[in-house]
Amino acid sequence: MTQEKLNAMTVDVEDYFQVSAFEKYIDRSDWNNLPCRVENNTGRLLDLFDKHNVKITFFMLGWVAERYPGLIRKIVDSGHELASHGYSHVRVTEQTPQQFREDIIKTKKLLEDISGKEIKGYRAASYSIGASNLWALQELQEAGHLYSSSIYPIKHDLYGMPEAPRFAFYPHGDSGILEIPVTTVELGNRKFPCGGGGYFRFFPYMLSRWAMRRVNRHDGQSCLFYFHPWEIDPEQPRQTGINFKTRFRHYLNLNRMHDRLERLLTDFKWDRMDNIFLKNSKEVGNE
Instruction: Return the pLDDT at 156.
Output: 65
Higher pLDDT, 3 or 282: 282
Q: What is the pTM for the complete model shown?
A: 0.94
> Residue 117: which pLDDT band, with cuts at 50, 70 and 90?
very high
d(Cα 100, Cα 106) in Å, to the nearest integer? 10
Residue 1 confidence (pLDDT) above 80: no
* CATH for the stretch 6-283: 3.20.20.370
Task: Specify the pLDDT at position 16.
Answer: 97
Residue 188 confidence (pLDDT) = 86
pLDDT of 272:
98
How many other CB atoms are there within 10 angstroms of residue 94's CB atom?
12
287 or 196, which is more confident: 196
> What residues form DSSP beta bridges with 59?
12, 83
User: What pLDDT score was predicted for residue 155?
Assistant: 74
Residue 287 pLDDT class (50, 70, 90 cuts): very low
pLDDT higher than 70, residue 158: no
State residue 285's pLDDT score: 46
**Over the stretch 212-252, which tens digit does the pLDDT of each residue have?**
999 999 999 999 999 999 999 999 999 999 999 999 999 99
pLDDT at 163: 87
pLDDT in tens, 179-208: 999 999 999 888 899 999 899 999 999 999
Nearest-angstrom CA–CA distance, 107 and 245: 32
Residue 100 predicted with pLDDT over 90: yes
Contacts of 241 (CB under 8 A, 6+ apart): 25
User: Which residue type sits at 90?
Assistant: V
**What average pLDDT does range 112-128 have in this prediction?**
97
Q: At what angle do helices 69-77 and 97-115 cross, to 10 degrees?
A: 70
Under 8 Å between Cβ of 151 and 180 = no
Separation in Å, CA 43 to CA 37, 46, 186, 273: 10, 5, 35, 20
Q: How many helices (H) and strands (E) does the chain have?
A: 10, 10
pLDDT in tens, 19-71: 999 999 999 999 999 999 999 999 999 999 999 999 999 999 999 999 999 99
Q: What are the extents of the domains in the chain? A: 6-283
Mean pLDDT value across the chain:
93
